[in-house]
Amino acid sequence: MTTRILLYLAHAIDHLALLIFAAAVSAIARDFGMARWEDLMPYATGAFVMFGIASLPAGHLGDLWGRRAMMLIFYFGMGLSLLVVALTRSPWQMALALTVMGAFSAIYHPVGIPMLFQQGKKAGAVIGVNGLIGNLGIAFAALLTGVLIELAGWRAAFAVPGALSIMVGLAFARVVPREGGAPAARRGARALHVDHRTAVRVFAVLTCTTTLGSMLFNFTTNGNGELLRERTSEITSDPAMLGVLLAIVYALASIAQVIVGRLIDRYPIKRIFAPIVAGQVVCFLLAARADGWWFYAFAIAYMTFVFGAIPFTDAIIARFVDDSMRSRVAGLRLAVSFGFSSLAVWALGPFVKASGFSALLYTMAGIAAGTLLAVTFLPSRDPEPSSVNP
């Protein structure tokens, strides 16, 4: 149980760290002497590129070397790199430090999530709770960053989570026992009970849906702060208030992952996945025309559906892939989806500067529609899942 709690905290730290920059970008831009936050946003691209690309070697090492050792590298690497980000003095120094942090952040999903599956029997329930904790990290990023900017400046917003990551890492090293051997040395029953054609189709659908879903995740979580500032300008009068409102959005939306996780354990994936993605399309279209409290309500709604779509790919890996190779499969999936979708972070500032937030919301509705089309190609019935390896 203690191991599971520390892994949940790692997920929160991972997402919190990746979103501090987006929450603090206006304050950082002013400190660096830049006129517009949009001009600074592309400098964060390296973090998200590495978050995707570095997942592949992280997953490989997790299976072949050991997951406990890789998680220790995660905790201490994240902590030290966040402290370095807090010391940067220029946009390019910031870009380099964020890129290094992104490489360490890539470790958690292909290593920590398969490690979690070893701790619980129902994959959907574990994924749901883990998703909730991770997204509360996103909410806490908005809240903590806003408060720390008000009290101590943007540098403290990076330094405090950095120190927290190191402390959790020390606890992990102390209480989590060493592994008996690398996961790749342990063999369980074959988990994917489908024919070759179906397996290829499912992998193609997953590649498409995870890539498009990751683009929506990056567009929303990196853009929501400034989007909320623009659409609710009469409400969000200071960074702390903006952080509170944004934290409420993420906290409420995060509950969806727990509900979806439990549904995954009971129903075929396609039956749940399609309505959730359809909800994204509707909510993005409604948000594009809204302002004030109406926009705030639609922001909660579209983030609920964005977060609600996250558990599906991890659930399929848990259900159909043997534990001896889960980290490598997860790493490959993340490298493809997040590697490509990191372009959303690079494009966000220039796109909004040129076309505005309404165009961005309509674009996100189009991306969600493409995801919905891909989901229709999933099999109507899931293959029989294997038991989770101990």
Q: What CA–CA distance (Å, rounded) separates 75 from 111?
A: 12
> CA 178 to CA 165: how far, in whole Å?
20
Q: How many whole angstroms separate alpha carbon 291 and alpha carbon 209?
A: 30
> In sequence order, what are the residues at sequence separation of 6 or more whose Cβ sits closer than 8 angstroms to the Cβ of residue 30?
none
Question: Model confidence at 63, in pLDDT bands (50, 70, 90)?
Answer: confident
Least confident of 4-18, 152-166, 282-296, 376-390: 376-390
What radius of gyration do the chain's Cα atoms show? 20
∠ CA 84-96-18, nearest 5°, is: 70
Please give the DSSP secondary-structure letter assigned to residue 36: -
**Which class for 231: exposed (0-12), middle (13-18), buried (19 or more C-beta within 10 A)?**
buried
What fold, for 2-176+194-375? Growth Hormone; Chain: A; (1.20.1250)
Return the closest-CA partner of residue 304 out of 258, 267, 371, 370: 258
Q: What is the pLDDT of residues 66-101, one digit of tens each?
A: 788 899 999 999 999 999 999 999 999 999 999 999
Residues 198-255: pLDDT tens digits?
767 777 887 888 888 888 988 888 788 888 888 887 766 666 777 788 888 888 888 8
Distance, C-alpha 31 to centroid of its chain: 28
Q: Return d(Cα 54, Cα 37) in angstroms, integer.
A: 27
Entry pTM: 0.71
Residues whose CB falls within 8 Å of the CB of residue 271, separated by 6 or more in sequence, listed in order: 380
Per-chain mean pLDDT for the chain:
82
Share above pLDDT 70 across residues of the chain, in percent, rounded to a whole number: 83
Could you tell me the pLDDT band of residue 314, with boundaries at 50, 70 and 90?
Answer: confident
CA contacts within 13 A on the Cβ side of 380: 0
pLDDT over threshold 60, residue 390 = no
pLDDT at site 96 = 94
pLDDT tens-digit series, residues 335-376? 777 666 667 767 777 888 888 889 999 999 999 999 999 989
Token pair of 317 as six digits? 């890996």
Backbone region of residue 378 per phi and psi (left: phi > 0; alpha: psi in -120 to 50; beta: other values): beta
Distance CA 309, CA 20 (A): 23
- Could you report the per-residue pLDDT of 102-120, keeping only the tens digit for each? 999 989 988 888 888 776 5
Separation between Cα atoms, residue 314 and residue 344, nearest integer Å? 22
Closest CA to 224 of 212, 213, 236: 236
Is residue 114 within 8 A of residue 60, CB to CB? The reply is no
Residue 333 C-alpha from the chain's centroid: 13
What is the pLDDT averaged over residues 276-292? 93
Cα–Cα distance between 147 and 153 in angstroms, integer?
9
- In DSSP notation, 327-383 reads HHHHHHHHHHHHHHHTHHHHHHHHHHHHH-HHHHHHHHHHHHHHHHHHHTTS-SSPP
**DSSP assigned state of 109:** I
| Total Cβ atoms within 10 A of residue 302 | 27
CB-based contacts of 248: which residues, under 8 Å, 6+ apart?
Answer: 139, 300
Q: Residues 6 or more apart from 270 whose CB is under 8 A from it?
A: 375, 378, 379, 380
The SS3 of residue 89 is coil
Instruction: Please check the confidence at residue 380 and state whether its pLDDT lies above 50.
Output: yes
- SS3 state at 121: coil
Once rounded to an integer, what is the mean pLDDT over residues 184-200?
57
